[in-house]
């Protein structure tokens, strides 16, 4: 990559930000497309997020991604929040308009939908209820994606039931009902389900294991784990042994970057086997 006087700028704000794979992801696409652009890690402390975002148009940036801990705070800083980011309650992508205003978007739901489409193209929203484990930020994006895809029933399982109640209030629609389950009721949530998604951090390296009896799940039901370190979680290994189609978390991570790249650099990009390999090489080895 070479920087010129007309290089288009974007980056990712986080605190810390050094762990983020986004610079590698966007760097791969910049090399591949030959776009005159650069994508930088931008370490921004929580107390400075408003000033940092406001500085973007002044510095000539096209936009940026946001990661922990800025995704919620940005909602009240940007000039416009698109309806999906508003429903999800988090902004992970900022696009600067020609007039210098900041638009907040959320591309995690897009990333989830595209990864599912890639890995299990035969899956349909009418396959049956979707069982979602977890009710954090990622789960909100997954629920929004499934509601928008037309899933009629989403069964949410979480330790803290108040978080699920909040999601049900924000994301249920006339066409999608959200039901609330404790971990003791997980077996009932899996019965006749047409999709299972782990959106908790359980099973991630350094976090407690996710122990789940998959017996109630119909054998053809796809199992998705959005955790991507390790890539092959215990849940996916167990699902594979039972013959379920499985979807790992890397596809969501890669696809969620596409809308930002396309908005800032004006060129469409794809998630390829080569890209997966390049990002996999940056992930910490499995436990």
Piece of the chain touching ligand NAP by CB under 6 A; list 135-143, 171-179, 185-193, 259-267: 135-143
> Which residue lies nearer to ligand NAP by CB, 231 or 238?
231
**Which residue from 66, 96, 135, 149 is in contact with ligand NAP, where contact means CB under 6 A?**
135
Residues in region 151-170 near ligand NAP by CB under 6 A: 158-160, 163
| Closest residue to bound ligand NAP by CB | 136
Piece of the chain touching ligand NAP by CB under 6 A; list 99-107, 232-240, 247-255, 261-269: 247-255
Total site size for ligand NAP, rule CB under 6 A: 25
- H or E element, residue 12: strand 8-14
Piece of the chain touching ligand NAP by CB under 6 A; list 37-45, 52-60, 194-202, 269-277: 194-202
Q: Which of 8, 21, 62, 71 is catalytic?
A: 71
Do the beta carbons of residue 72 and residue 46 sit within 8 Å?
Answer: no
Site string for ligand NAP, 217-246 (x = CB under 6 A): ---------xxx------------------
Going from the C-alpha of 250 to that of each of 22, 45, 125, the distances in angstroms are: 12, 27, 22
Min dist. Cβ of residue 277 to ligand NAP (A) = 17
> Which residue lies nearer to ligand NAP by CB, 20 or 158?
158
Residues in region 55-114 near ligand NAP by CB under 6 A: 108, 111
- CA dist., res. 254 & res. 268, Å (int): 13
Min dist. Cβ of residue 3 to ligand NAP (A) = 29
Residue with tokens 């920087």: 3
| Interior/surface letters 250-269, b for 16+ CB within 10 angstroms, e for the rest | bbbbbbbbbbbbebbbeeeb
**Which residue from 66, 139, 146, 147 is in contact with ligand NAP, where contact means CB under 6 A?**
139
**Which residue from 134, 257, 259, 260 is in contact with ligand NAP, where contact means CB under 6 A?**
134
Piece of the chain touching ligand NAP by CB under 6 A; list 1-9, 55-63, 201-209, 266-274: 201-209
> Which residue lies nearer to ligand NAP by CB, 10 or 227?
227
Going from the C-alpha of 4 to that of each of 25, 35, 38, 85, 172, the distances in angstroms are: 21, 11, 10, 34, 48
Piece of the chain touching ligand NAP by CB under 6 A; list 27-35, 169-177, 196-204, 267-275: 196-204
- CA dist., res. 73 & res. 95, Å (int): 16
Contacts of 201 (CB under 8 A, 6+ apart): 134, 136, 207, 227
Q: Kindly list the strands in the beta sheet with 93-96, ordered across the sheet, starting from the edge strand earlier in the chain.
A: 37-43, 8-14, 61-66, 93-96, 102-105, 80-81
Going from the C-alpha of 252 to that of each of 35, 37, 178, 187, 287, the distances in angstroms are: 24, 23, 22, 26, 21
SS3 186: helix
Is 270 annotated in the active site? no
The answer to whether residue 256 forms part of the interface with ligand NAP (CB under 6 A) is yes
SS3 259: helix
The catalytic residue positions are 71
Q: Which residues bind ligand NAP (CB under 6 A)?
A: 108, 111, 134-139, 158-160, 163, 199-202, 204, 208, 226-228, 249, 252-253, 256
């Amino acid at each position: 990559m070479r920087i010129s006087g007309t290089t288009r700028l974007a980056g990712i704000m986080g605190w810390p930000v050094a762990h983020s794979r986004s610079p590698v992801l966007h760097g791969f696409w910049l090399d591949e497309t030959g776009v005159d652009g650069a994508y930088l890690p931008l370490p921004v402390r929580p107390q400075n997020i408003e000033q940092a975002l406001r500085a973007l148009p002044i510095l000539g940036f096209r936009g940026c991604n946001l990661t922990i801990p800025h995704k919620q705070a940005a909602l009240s800083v940007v000039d416009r929040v698109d309806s999906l980011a508003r429903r999800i309650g988090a902004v992970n992508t900022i696009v600067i308009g020609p007039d210098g205003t900041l638009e907040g978007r959320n591309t995690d739901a897009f990333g989830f939908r595209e990864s599912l489409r890639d890995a299990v193209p035969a899956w349909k929203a009418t396959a049956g209820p979707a069982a979602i484990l977890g009710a954090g930020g990622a789960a909100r994006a997954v629920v929004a994606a499934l509601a928008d895809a037309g899933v009629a029933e989403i069964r949410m399982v979480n330790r803290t039931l108040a978080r699920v109640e909040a999601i049900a209030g924000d994301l249920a629609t006339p066409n999608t009902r959200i039901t609330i389950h404790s971990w003791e009721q997980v077996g009932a949530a899996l019965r006749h389900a047409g999709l299972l998604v782990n959106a908790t951090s359980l099973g991630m390296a350094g976090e407690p294991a996710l122990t789940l009896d998959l017996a109630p799940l119909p054998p053809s039901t796809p199992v998705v784990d959005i955790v991507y370190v390790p890539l092959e979680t215990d849940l996916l290994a167990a699902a594979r042994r039972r013959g379920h189609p499985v979807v790992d978390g890397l596809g969501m991570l890669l696809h969620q970057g596409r809308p930002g790249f396309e908005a800032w650099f004006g060129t469409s990009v794809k998630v390829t086997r080569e890209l997966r390999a390049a990002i996999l090489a940056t992930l910490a080895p499995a436990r």
